Structure 1
Amino acid sequence: MAEQTGIHWDRLKRHDAGGGRNINGNVIVVKAARDQEAGVWFVESSDVPGLNLEADSLDALADQLPGAILDLLEAGGGLGDGDYDVPVELIAHASTRVRLSAA
């Protein structure tokens, strides 16, 4: 079933945080970036095809992830049998500049 969503569960990173392995051993990785001009954080890439979100803050983006990921997996038939947790790792990057002047 997971193949319908484009997610290859066997290729996702394995998660084991101090013995806290989840049932299926997978983690969904989401990479976020900051668009300085628009003033928003957005999903740059993820293990979930079609995950396109943006928000004013990184916290707001993180809050949107579980519902959006669940919706996409349900729509694509990518949910397995039973109830289990899959960790979502949000990796964010932003850049800025500092002006240096010769003294």
Structure 2
Amino acid sequence: MDLIGKALTMSHLVAYQDGSVVSKTLIDKTIGTVTLFSFDAGQGLSEHTAPYDAFVQVVDGEAEVTIEGSPQTVGAGQMIIMPANKPHALKAVKPFKMLLVMIRA
């Protein structure tokens, strides 16, 4: 599906799948990426670090985002920035969708 120049509903671009994490890259450039994810309840990303700040916008549902051991609940309509080089993880409290923006400059 060509996304450029069209008004689209973000939450419709990735579907939930039982027991899975689904991702769709919307923009992939040298300077950064924009990726839409869906997570079934209980699914997540294990603790890791990244060399760049990561902007997360929750589109639907609710997740627990842990940054340097400190958990926070983030829900639909909320955002959080995960800082570069700091351990972070996330887990779906209930099914949720998020937009992840990574800028590498």
Q: TM-score normalised by the shorter chain: which range applies? A: under 0.3
* TM-score, scaled relative to structure 2: 0.27
Task: Report the structure number with the largest CA radius of gyration.
Answer: 1
* TM-score, scaled relative to structure 1: 0.27
Pick the structure with more helix per residue: 1
Pick the structure with more strand per residue: 2
